[in-house]
C-alpha cells in the first residue's frame, strides 16, 4: 500500500533550528512536496524535490533520498509565525498526491 509517515507534533524554541522528517512508500514516485498549513487555513506550497539532495529556499530547506524513501524539512531561525502544521506529500505513478497526516510544530519563545 501507499503510506506517508511523519511525526504528529514537535516543539522548538524561537530562533532555533528544527528538522521534520517524512518517510514514504508509494506505487511509483514523481516527487516529494512540503506544504505549510496554519490552523484554520488552507495548505500553502513550500517546496518540491524530485532529485536526491538538498533544496534551499531562504530559511527553509528540503532534502530527499529516493533510495531510502526519506525526506526532511529544515527550518532555521525559527519565528513564532512558523507555528503551523507541515504536510508531507508524495506524488505517485499517476501523479496523484499521497498526503501524510501532518506535523504540528509548536514554537515557544
Partner 1 sequence: NAGVTQTPKFRVLKTGQSMTLLCAQDMNHEYMYWYRQDPGMGLRLIHYSVGEGTTAKGEVPDGYNVSRLKKQNFLLGLESAAPSQTSVYFCASSPPGQGMETQYFGPGTRLLVL
- For residue 96, give the C-alpha cell: 496523484
Taking the least distance from each CB to partner 1, the nearer of 67 and 94 is: 94
DSSP assigned state of 42: -
Taking the least distance from each CB to partner 1, the nearer of 70 and 76 is: 70
| Closest distance of CB 101 from partner 1, Å | 5
| Closest distance of CB 96 from partner 1, Å | 6
Residues binding partner 1 (CB under 8 A): 4, 8, 30-31, 33, 41-45, 48, 87, 89, 91, 94-102
d(CA 109, CA 15): 9
Rg (CA), the chain: 13
Inter-residue contact 75 to 18 (CB < 8 Å): yes
Taking the least distance from each CB to partner 1, the nearer of 46 and 76 is: 46
Amino acid at each position: 500500500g501507499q503510506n506517508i509517515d511523519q511525526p504528529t507534533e514537535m516543539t522548538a524554541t524561537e530562533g532555533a533550528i528544527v528538522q521534520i522528517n517524512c518517510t514514504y512508500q508509494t506505487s511509483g514516485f514523481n516527487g516529494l512536496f512540503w506544504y505549510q498549513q496554519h490552523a484554520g487555513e488552507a495548505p500553502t506550497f513550500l517546496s518540491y524535490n524530485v532529485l536526491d539532495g538538498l533544496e534551499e529556499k531562504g530559511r527553509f530547506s528540503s532534502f530527499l533520498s529516493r533510495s531510502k524513501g526519506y525526506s526532511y524539512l529544515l527550518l532555521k531561525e525559527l519565528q513564532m509565525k512558523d507555528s503551523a502544521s507541515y504536510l508531507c506529500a508524495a506524488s505517485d505513478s499517476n501523479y496523484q498526491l499521497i498526503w501524510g497526516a501532518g506535523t504540528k510544530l509548536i514554537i515557544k519563545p
